[in-house]
Amino acid sequence: MSYYSQSKNQQGSDLGFGIKGTSFLQRPQSSIQNKSQTQKQSRIQSALGGSRSNVNKPHNLPLSDYIRIREKVGIDPNDEIDNKTMDKRELKEKSMKRVQNWTDSRKQKDNQRFERFKKDEEERRRIDEEEKQFQLQEKKKIIDKANKQLYDRDDRVKQFYSKIAVVDALDQRKQQAELKKLMDQMEKKRDQLYFQQQQEYLQREDEKEQIKKEQLKKKRAQTAKVLKEQHENQRQRFIEHLQGQRIEGEIIKVRAQEMIEKEKIQELEKRERAKQLQEEIIRNNEELKILRQHLKEQEKEEEKQIEKHAQKKQLLADMRKKREKFIFEEKQREREKLIEKQAKQLAEIKAKEDARLNKDIKEAEIKAEQTEKLKQEKRKKLVKQFDESIKINMENKRIQSAKQKEEDKDYRDFWINKNKEIQNRETKDIQFYRDRCKELQEFHKQQALEKQKLREKEFELELEENEKNKRVHENGQLHFNSWAERMIHLQNQDGKDTKPLQKLLNQLKLPQP
C-alpha cells in the first residue's frame, strides 16, 4: 500500500466514516482546526442520529445524501478543495525532500561508464603505442634481413663466403690433425704408463713369489729337522726295547720252568676235580631229567589255564558286543520316542500358533474396518472444512480485491505524476547523453586525424628508409673492400690461414673512389 493511500485511510479514520471513491477530510494543521473539526464531527453525529460505535464503522452513502448533509452542516466545498491542495502540497514537499536525499543512479552510471571508457581508451592508446614500436622494430629487422640477403646475393660476396668456408675447412683440418697428433701422444703416454704399471705389478708379484719360496724352504728345513729328531728318538726307543726284551726273555725262561712244574701239579689236581665233576654231572643230569618232566607237566597245566582264560576273554568280548548293541538299540528307541514327542509338541505349537494368527488376522481386519470408517468420517469432515475454508477464502479474496482496486486507483494516480517527473528527468538525461556522444564523436574525429597524421609520417619515414636502403645497395660495392678486410682481420684473430681470402680479395678488390 502506498503512502498516498495510507494518508487517505488515516483521514477517513479521523472523521469516523468515509464514502467509497471520495476523500474530503483535511489533516489538522493547528489547534483551531482541531477544534473546528471536533465541532463538525459532533454535528455529523447529531445529523446521522447514531451512536459513537456506529460512527467508527464505514458507510456507503449516495453522493446526493453526502451533499445534502454537508449543506445542512454548513461545510464550504471550497474549504475542502483548499485542504486537498494543502495536503497534496505537503505530500509533494515531503516526497521532494526524500528525492533530494536519493542518489542519482543514472548520472553515477554515466560517470562510471565514462571513467571505464576513459581507462579503456588510455589502455588502447598504450597498446597502440607498444604495437607501433614493435612494428617499427620488426620492420627494421625485416629491412636489415632483406638488405643482408641482397648483399649476400652479390657474386663477389658469394665467392668470398665460399673462400671463408674453405678457410674454415682448412682450419678444421688443421685442428683435426693437431687433435690426432695430441691423441697419438696421449695414447703413447697411456701405453707407457700401462707398461710401467704392468712392470711394477710383475715385480711385486716376483717379490711375493720369492718370499713364498723362502718361507717354503724354511718350512721344509724345519720339517726335515723335526723328522730327523723323531727318527733318532724312535731308533733309541727301539734299541732300548730290544734290550728290555732280551732281559725279559731270560726272566720268562726261568718263569716258564716254574710254570711247567706248577702245571704238572695243577694237571693232577684237574684230573681229580674232573672225576668229581663227572660224578656231579651224572647226578645233576638225573635231577635235570626229573626237573624237565616236572616242567613239562607245569607247561601242560599252564596251557590249559591259558585256554580257559582265552575262552573266558572271548565270552566277555561277546557279552560286551551284545551289551553295546543293546545300549545302541535302546538309545535308538529313546531317540525315536523323543522325536515323536517333539513332533507332537511342534504340531500342537503350530496349531496354537495358527489359531492365534487367525485370531490376530480377524482382529486386524476388524480394526482395519474401524480405521477405514474413521478415515472416511475424518475425510468427510476435512472436505467439509476445506469447502468452508474455500468459501471463506473466496469471500476474503473478493473483499481484498475490492480494497486492492481502490488502492490500485490511488497508486495509479500517484505514479502518473511520478512517471511525468521521471520522463522529464529522462529527457534531461537523454539530452545530456547526446551532448556527451557529440563530445565523444569530436574526440574520435580528433583521434582519427591524429592517426592519419601518424600514418603519413610513417609513410614518409618508410620512403626515406627505402631511399636509404637503395643508396646503401648502390654503394655496396664501395663497402665490399672494407667488409672483406674486416672479415680477414676476424679470421686472423681466430688464428686461421687467410691466404686464400687475401688472394681472392686482391683479385676482386676495386679501387676506392
Tell me the three cell numbers of residue 291.
626237573
Whether the model clears a pTM of 0.85, i.e. scores above it, the answer is no
- Please give the helix or strand (H or E) that residue 498 lies within, else none: none
Q: Contact at 8 Å (CB) between 502 and 176?
A: no
Say how many C-beta atoms besides its own lie within 10 A of residue 213's C-beta: 10
3-state secondary structure of 50: coil
Q: 206-263, pLDDT tens digit by residue? A: 888 889 888 888 888 888 888 888 888 888 887 777 777 677 667 777 777 777 777 7
How many CA atoms does the CB half-sphere of 35 hold within 13 Å?
3
**Quick check: is 21 in a domain?**
yes
Q: 120-168, pLDDT tens digit by residue? A: 888 988 998 899 899 889 988 888 888 777 666 767 777 777 777 888 8
Q: Contact at 8 Å (CB) between 2 and 414?
A: yes
Say how many C-beta atoms besides its own lie within 10 A of residue 281's C-beta: 12
Q: Which amino acid is at 134?
A: F
**Quick check: is 120 in a domain?**
no
**Quick check: is 407 in a domain?**
no
Tell me the three cell numbers of residue 385.
472444512
Say how many C-beta atoms besides its own lie within 10 A of residue 212's C-beta: 10
First to last CA, the chain: 103
Domain limits at 52?
Answer: 1-102
Tell me the three cell numbers of residue 394.
473466496
Say what the pLDDT of residue 142 is.
87
3-state secondary structure of 198: helix
**What's the pLDDT band for 371 if we cut at 50, 70, 90?**
confident
Q: 324-344, pLDDT tens digit by residue? A: 888 888 877 777 777 777 777
**Quick check: is 76 in a domain?**
yes
**Quick check: is 28 in a domain?**
yes
Specify the residue for cell string 733318532.
Answer: 232
**Quick check: is 52 in a domain?**
yes
**Quick check: is 172 in a domain?**
no
The domain tally of the chain equals: 1
- Please give the helix or strand (H or E) that residue 163 lies within, else none: helix 155-474
DSSP 86: H
**Quick check: is 145 in a domain?**
no
